[in-house]
Structure 1
Amino acid sequence: MSTDLPSLAFAGIGLMGLPMCRRLLAAGYPLTVWNRSPDKCDALVAAGARRAASPAELSRDADMVLLCLADTAVVREVVFGEAGIALGGRSGQLLIDLSSLEPGATREMAAELAALCGMAWLDAPVSGGTPGAEAGTLAIMVGGDVHDLHRAQPVLQVLGQRVTHMGAVGAGQVTKACNQMIVACNALVIAEVIALAERSGVDTRLLAEALAGGFADSKPLQILAPQMASSTYQPIKWHVRTLLKDLDNAVKLSREQGAATPISGLAAQLMRLHASQGFLDQDPSTLVEQYRSKP
C-alpha cells in the first residue's frame, strides 16, 4: 500500500456508501468508517478498514472525510452534533459530501464548519445508483473551491467516470436537484407507460428494447421498464423516499429562486402518494403499481 495516499474517513455505509468504500479500499486508500448502525461496517472492517466509534473519532486522523448520508438533518447531526465531525476536525482537512442536500443548507454548514475548525467543504453529490457505485462509473457534480477539488480529484475518480466542477459551494447540490427532477419525472412517466401498454395488450417486456436508441430512450427506461414489466422489485437498488426527498428539495429551491417547476411539483405529490401507500422504503420500480388495475 502506498504511503503517499491520503488517509480517508467515510460516514454512511448504506446502499451507495458500501460499494464506494469497497472501491476506495481496493484502490489502496487507508480507510476509517463509521455508521450509526455499527454492524453495517463489519464487511469493510473484514476487508481492511478501521471502525471509528464516533464521527469525531472518524475525522480526527483523516486527511479527507467523505459523507454519504440520508438527508440534510442527518448530515447536520453527524457534522455538528455531540461527538460530531467538527469536534475532531482541523484546518487543512477536507470534507467531501456525496449526499443529496438542500443547497442553501449546504452553504450554511460549509461556512459554519470553516469557522469552527477550518475544514473546507466540497458538495459532491453523485448519480448512477448502486450499479454506478459498484462499477466506479458515477457522475459526480461538485461545488466548492477549485483547489479543494484538485486535492479530491484522485479520490473522486476512483468513484466516478465523470467529475464536473459546477461552481462555488452549493452548486453541486443545485445540479443534483436538476438531475433528480429529470430522473423522478422520468420514472413516473415510465410507470404510466408500462401500465398503459399492459392494458392495451402489448408485451411490456419488449418496450425497453423497442425504444432503445430512439428519442424516448434513457437509462431509467432501460433499468425501470423491465423491472416494472416483470414486477421485479427486489433487490432494492434505491428508495422511493430518496426520490421524494430530492423532489421536495428541488421544489423548495424553485420557490427560493422564483422559478416555475409545475411538473416537478406534481411529481413530488405523486411520489408522496405512492410513499404513503406503504412504498416509502421500496424501489421506485414499484411506481407502476399506482397505475395497474386493482382487484
Structure 2
Amino acid sequence: MSDRHDKSTRIGMVGLGIMGAPLVRRFREMGAPVTVWNLEPERFDEVKASGAEWADSPAEVWSSSDVACVCVLGDDAIESVCLGDRGFATALGAQVLVDFSTTSPEATARVAPALKDATGAEWVDAPMSGGPGAAEEGDVTLMIGGDEKTCDKVMPLLDLVAGNVTRMGDLGAGQKTKVLNQAIVGVNYVLMAELLAIAKAAGIDPTLLPGSLKGGMADSTILQRIYTQMAHDDFDPPRSYARQLNKDLKAVRSFVETLRLELPVLARAIEQYRAYTEAGNEMQDGASVSRLYES
C-alpha cells in the first residue's frame, strides 16, 4: 500500500462488473471514500457492504469526486459515460479521470480531448492485467498512459490497487500496451486449449502437465492457471467472460489492421476464439474455449 495516498481524496467509480467491484472494495478497504454508479443498479449489492456510496448518474459520480475512475466494457460504454446524457461532461467536479477499462486506443484519442474541452480534466488510461482476485488484493498490473505530471499525481491512488504500475508514454500508450497484452493472452488461451487436446489424444494425463513443466522455458501463468482450469473443466462460476476476451481480440485485430501488418498466427487464434464465443458462449468462462476442441 502506498503511504503517499491522501485518504481525503474522493474517488468515483463507474462500472461495477467483474473487475470494477473488487477495485471499489479494495479502495474502501484502504480507507478511501468512494461514490459509484453502474448501468444495472443491482450491481451495487456487490459493494454496498464496503461502505461505498451510490450515485444516480455518471454526472453525479463526477461531481462527487476528485478522481473519477471508469471500468466499463468497450468503446461505446466509455463514450456514453463520459459524453452522453448525464455523463461526466455535463458536470463539474473531478480533476482527473482514470480509465481502468480495456478500450481501443482510438476511443481514448477521441473521448479524452472531448472530455477535457468540456471539464478541463486530465485523463490517464490505465488498463489492467490480472483477475478479480488480484484487484481484491491490490495486486493488478497497470500499464498507463498520460501526461507525466498527471500520472505522478494519481500514482499513490493506483498503488492502492496495483502491484506493478508502468507509465508507457503519453495518452493512449496504456491502451496500446494492453492490445499487446491481450494478443499474448488470446493466442495462449487458444494454444492451451490445443495443448489439452494433444495431451488427451496422446494418452498423457493432462492434469500432470503444469507440474511437470513448472520452472522450465514453457512455464507461464497461463499454463499454471488457465490450462489447469481447462484440464479440470473448472469453469463454474466464471472467473471471466468469453465475451470480454472476444471483444479485446477484435480490438487487437483492428489495431493490427491500422498498422498494416499480416500476422497469421494471431489472426487464426482470434478467429478460433471468435467462433467459440459467438456460438452462444458469450457468458461462459473465458477459458472454456477448450470445449471447442472436444470431440
TM-score by length of 1: 0.95
Deviations 1:172-196 (A, max 9, x none): 0000000000011011000001111
Aligned equivalents of 2:57, 2:170: Cα separation in 1:
29
User: What residue number does 1:127 align with?
Assistant: 129
1:234 Cα offset (Å)? 1.2
Aligned residue among 31, 34, 41 for 2:34? 31
How many residues are paired up? 291
Task: Give, as a single letter, the amino acid of the residue that structure 1 aligns with 2:117.
Answer: A
**Are 2:92 and 1:99 aligned?**
no
**Pair 1:260-2:256 in alignment:** no
Q: Which residue of structure 1 lines up, in the alignment, with residue 13 of structure 2?
A: 10
1:94–1:120: 8 Å Cα contact kept in structure 2?
yes
179-188 vs 275-284, which deviates more? 275-284
- Is the Cα–Cα contact under 8 Å of residues 7 and 32 in structure 2 kept in the other structure? no
SS where residue 139 of structure 1 aligns?
A: strand
2:209 paired residue number: 207
Do 1:244 and 1:272's aligned partners in 2 also have CA atoms closer than 8 Å?
yes
Which amino acid letter does the alignment assign opposite residue 281 of structure 1?
M
Q: Is the 8 A contact 1:100 1:125 kept in 2?
A: yes
Residue aligned with 1:65, SS: strand
- Rounded Cα–Cα distance in structure 1 between residues aligned with 2:218 and 2:46: 40
CA distance 1:4–1:15, shift in 2 (3 Å): closer
C-alpha distance in 1 between matches for 2:76 and 2:263: 24
Listed one character per residue, the Cα deviations across residues 206-249 of structure 1 (whole Å, up to 9, x for unaligned) are 11111111111111111112211111111211111111111111
Pick aligned residue for 1:158 from 148, 157, 160 = 160
Identity %: 35
Out of 41, 57, 60, the position equivalent to 1:57 is 60
- Label 1:214 to 1:89 Cα distance change in 2 as closer, same or farther (>3 A): farther
Q: TM-score, normalising length from structure 2?
A: 0.95
1:54-76 Cα distance to aligned partner (Å, 9 max, x none): 00011002100001101011111
Unaligned runs of 5+ in 1: none
The AA in structure 2 aligned to 1:11 is V
* 2:42 alignment partner AA: D
Q: What CA deviation, in whole Å up to 9, does each residue of 1:133-169 have, x standing for no partner?
A: 1221111000101111111111111111011001111
Mapped contact 1:9–1:59 kept (Cα < 8 A): yes
Contact 1:142 1:171 in 2 (8 A): yes
SS in 2 for 1:9: strand
Q: Determine if the alignment matches structure 1 residue 174 to structure 2 residue 176.
A: yes
List aligned pairs for 1:213-252, cutoff 5 A: 213-252=215-254
Note if contact 1:247-1:267 (Cα within 8 Å) is conserved in structure 2: no
Paired residue secondary structure (2:142): strand
- Kept in 2: contact 1:22–1:44 (CA 8 A): yes
For 2:160, what is the secondary structure of its paired residue? helix
| Corresponding residue of 2:47 | 44
CA contact (8 A) 1:10 1:34 kept: yes
Distance 1:100 1:47 in 2: 25
Amino acid at match of 1:271: Y
CA RMSD, Structure 1 to Structure 2 (Å): 1.4
Gaps of 5+ in 2: none
User: Do 1:9 and 1:64's aligned partners in 2 also have CA atoms closer than 8 Å?
Assistant: yes
